[in-house]
Amino acid sequence: MISIIITTCKRPMDILKRALDSAMKQTVEDKEIILVNDYPPYRTDIARLLEGYDGVKFISHEKNAGACKARNNGIRAASGEYVAFLDDDDEWADGKLARQLAKMQSEDAGMVYCTGVRIYPDGKTGDMAFIKGRDGDLCAHLLAGNFMGGCSFPLIKKSVLTELRGFDESLPSSQDYDLWIRIASRCKVVFLDEPLVLYHVEQNSISSSLDRRMKGYAMLLAKHGELFDRHPAQKRAFIYNMARTALLYGRWDAYLDVLAKSLRCFPGNLSIALLGAKTLVRNAAKRLIKR
């Protein structure tokens, strides 16, 4: 059996219904759907929505506890051998779980992830080329950056999730990335190169908050410190991506914090300093062009 866990918080009912319909349309026969509500005021509206669906397990928190707590509660309630998470604003292609289950069983994997299509608020679409397969030490590659996507993308054995105690609720962001690192360090993970997720980009997503993202990155670096130290090239790439993220948001204060961290870890590595210098020159050139 596959347990589909949908976590929801303050989501309009029409969007939540879209996710539920996507789960219901999955072609695997043996499945269950668990819906975990993390916003108590919506409990009645969701219960009314679920009257149109048969057999959905409904869990509603007494108070807001966060997405990771909701997912972990879903894991504990799951009866299936396999678990798939679906964010409440995303959708799946009808055959997603069937395709992943076949791949998992044929390759004796603990996790199978796929790629998807971005859907923006204006209706435009884009690929998700950053999600890809990698040869060699998958865990080491992951340290440089998350190329497996978010929670809507993998199918995972429940035994693996139980062994790892699910998502780390102490992290303010990148909880999925942290879990993928821990899974890749313990079992076989394979890539299904098919766009099976419709990933709806939302302006107010947690990943769009720089402060939370940067704090999450810093906590990941500390949590997996020994692993990063064994792979210095990946550690340099991870810190470089932190700096690039800060600059993309125009946050020079966050960039300078990362620069200081980089110089402490790698005194001779000036790549982040050069990145900042190039950004300054580029910004100055843009201002001159506008005059």
72-110: pLDDT as tens digits: 999 999 999 999 999 999 999 999 999 999 999 999 999
Place of tokens 């090239």: 233
pLDDT at res. 7:
98
pLDDT at res. 206:
46
Neighbours of 89 (CB within 10 A): 20
Burial degree of 218 (CB within 10 A; 0-12, 13-18, 19+): middle
Q: Is the pLDDT of residue 20 over 60?
A: yes
pLDDT at res. 156:
98
Q: Is 35 within 8 Å of 58 (Cβ atoms)?
A: yes
pLDDT at res. 204:
53
Cα–Cα distance measured from residue 77 to residue 59, given in angstroms and rounded to the nearest whole number? 9
pLDDT digits (tens, 9 = 90+) for 152-173: 999 999 999 999 999 999 999 9
Say what percent of the chain tops pLDDT 90: 90
Q: Is the pLDDT of residue 252 over 50?
A: yes
In this structure, the strands spanning 111-119 and 125-127 are antiparallel
Q: Is the pLDDT of residue 187 over 50?
A: yes
Say what percent of the chain tops pLDDT 70: 98
pLDDT at res. 268:
87
> Considering the chain, what is the average pLDDT of its residues?
94
Nearest partner of 262 among 238, 230, 278, judged by Cα: 238
Q: Is 234 within 8 Å of 144 (Cβ atoms)?
A: yes
In this structure, the strands spanning 154-157 and 189-200 are unpaired
Residue 236 Ramachandran class (φ > 0 left, ψ -120 to 50 alpha, else beta) = alpha
pLDDT digits (tens, 9 = 90+) for 188-235: 999 999 999 999 987 654 445 889 999 999 999 999 999 999 999 999
Q: Is the pLDDT of residue 10 over 90?
A: yes
267 pLDDT tier (thresholds 50, 70, 90): very high
Please give the average per-residue pLDDT across 19-31, as a whole number: 96
pLDDT at res. 203:
62
pLDDT digits (tens, 9 = 90+) for 98-154: 999 999 999 999 999 999 999 998 889 999 999 999 988 999 999 999 999 999 999
CA angle 210, 217, 269 (to 5 degrees): 105
CA angle 110, 116, 122 (to 5 degrees): 150
SS3 245: helix
pLDDT at res. 208:
54
